[in-house]
Amino acid sequence: MVSSKVLMELRGVSKTYVNDGVETPVLHDVTFSMQGGEFVALMGPSGSGKSTLMHLLGFLDRITGGAYLFRGKDVSGLSDDALAAMRRREVGFVFQAFHLLPKSTVLDNVMLPMVYADVPRIERRTRAQKALEAVGLSHRTDHLSNQLSGGERQRVAIARALVNDPSVVFADEPTGNLDSKSGTAVLNLLQSLNAAGRTIIMVTHETEAAEYAGRVIRIRDGAVVSDTVNANQRTGTYEK
């Protein structure tokens, strides 16, 4: 269910990188807002600026100009420590390359974000097991992550993104390293999480993946070129 409250709002946001005195503009005058409970696809070709936009929204980077409001508060001027705290508390990330520790168990991988959040160990285990159950991997708890298939690794990554109960989950090309069957399963899982109330923001260049989102924002050359409700949203059934 989509909340009536605006969760994130960008007002005329720009991003320019400076390297050895050379300025490289990446985003230009980006303006839009997102409500809690949406499933939004940020779509565009390689180099369009969509991943940079995700990094800004997820407190991994800072805007150069404009304003970024989260829950109505302008976070543009927060200190690095305050941004890190926002990142730990408010967001979870799922990446194309999984970023799991290969020689650690599935359970230990999922518990890792809670170590940095100073969650007591007993609670870490309980919350990790619950997250793994949510993605259908409770039977893989003690396996090493390098013993899993690509689709299973991505589900572990999604469980890890959920353990701190974030306000929003960012998925950066989550099906990029998966075969079509595993990719569809991951998209169905993201859709299932969204149906349960999670806000999902997915970066993708794949039209088929974007069809699972309820809203598609297209980025080209660092600017928003369209922002549309997906009237023909593809739906699937997620089975654990």
C-alpha 110 chain-centroid distance:
16
Q: What is the pLDDT of residues 57-75, one digit of tens each?
A: 999 999 999 999 999 999 9
Rounded Cα–Cα distance for residues 182 and 123 (Å): 31
Is 0.85 topped by the overall pTM? yes
Q: What is the torsion angle, in degrees rounded to the nearest 10, for the CA atoms of residue 27, residue 176, residue 230 and residue 216?
A: -10
Of 59-68, 103-112, 114-123, 167-176, the poorest mean pLDDT is in: 114-123
The amino acid occupying position 77 is G
Name the pLDDT band for 1 (thresholds 50, 70, 90): very low
Residue with tokens 């543009």: 76
pLDDT at 3 over 60: no
224 φ/ψ angles, rounded to the nearest 5 degrees: -75, 120
Tokens of 196: 């349960």
Q: Residue 72: which H helix or E strand, with range?
A: none
Can you say whether the dihedral through the CA atoms of 129, 130, 131, 132 is positive or negative? positive
Tokens of 63: 């805007």
The amino acid occupying position 208 is E
The per-residue pLDDT for 98 is 86
Residue 98: left (phi > 0), alpha (psi -120 to 50), or beta? left
Q: What is the pLDDT of residues 174-232, one digit of tens each?
A: 998 888 999 999 999 999 999 999 999 999 999 999 999 999 999 999 999 999 998 87
- Cβ contact 95:172 at 8 Å: yes
